[in-house]
């Protein structure tokens, strides 16, 4: 009888100062940890650099990465290996399902790269334009 697998999801916040090459190397390292232990990566979502809600280990920004994977024995060993990497600011692993047949898993990995959040910056008015606009308005209370 084949061994049953479990399905996991790990959200990682990586150091935003790594740059593109450093981030990609770290993503590949995490993916290799899963595959070395006989697991299979199901989905990789790169959310990109985002502002953190509060400072974590001296960082105000972080690169968000979500890995979804399935394996028979990856769980705690994967977490232990991630703890040893200084460039991972924080991570959390959640077990999504137990007792999955490996044959029921998709063969192809889904890779998603989320677009960077759009930031709209309002145009800056010059002080002279602002004063002219205020002068053109009628004073409050006068018809």
- Domain assignments of the chain as residue spans, ordered by start: 5-117
Pick the CATH number of 5-117 from 3.30.70.60, 3.40.50.1360, 3.20.20.140, 3.20.20.10: 3.30.70.60
Instruction: Compute, in degrees rounded to 10, the torsion defined by CA atoms 78, 84, 86, 90.
Output: 40
pLDDT of residue 19: 86
- Cross-strand partners of 7: 70, 97
- Determine the Cα–Cα distance for residues 116 and 57; give it in Å rounded to an integer: 23
Q: Which two tokens stand for residue 123?
A: 């145009």
- Determine the Cα–Cα distance for residues 70 and 39; give it in Å rounded to an integer: 6
Predicted TM-score (pTM) of the model is 0.71
- Across all residues in the chain, what is the average pLDDT? 80
Q: Which two tokens stand for residue 75?
A: 């769980």
Of 91, 104, 82, the closest CA to residue 26 belongs to 82
91 vs 118 pLDDT, higher one: 91
pLDDT of 119 > 50? The answer is no
Residue with tokens 């100062």: 17
Of 117, 91, 119, 89, the closest CA to residue 18 belongs to 89
pLDDT of residue 140: 59
Q: Are the CB atoms for 91 and 82 separated by under 8 Å?
A: yes
């Amino acid at each position: 009888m084949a061994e049953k697998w479990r399905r996991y999801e790990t959200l990682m916040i990586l150091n935003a100062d790594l740059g593109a090459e450093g981030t990609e190397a770290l993503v590949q390292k995490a993916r290799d940890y899963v595959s070395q232990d006989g697991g299979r990566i199901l989905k990789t979502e790169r959310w990109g650099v985002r502002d953190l809600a509060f400072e974590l280990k001296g960082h105000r920004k972080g690169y968000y990465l979500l890995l979804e994977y399935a394996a028979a024995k990856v769980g705690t060993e994967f977490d232990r290996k991630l703890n040893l990497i200084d460039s991972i600011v924080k991570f959390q692993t959640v077990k999504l399902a137990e007792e999955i047949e490996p044959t029921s898993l998709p063969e192809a990995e889904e890779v998603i790269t989320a677009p960077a959040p759009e930031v709209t910056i309002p145009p800056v008015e010059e002080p002279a334009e602002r004063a002219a606009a205020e002068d053109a308005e009628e004073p409050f209370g006068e018809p």
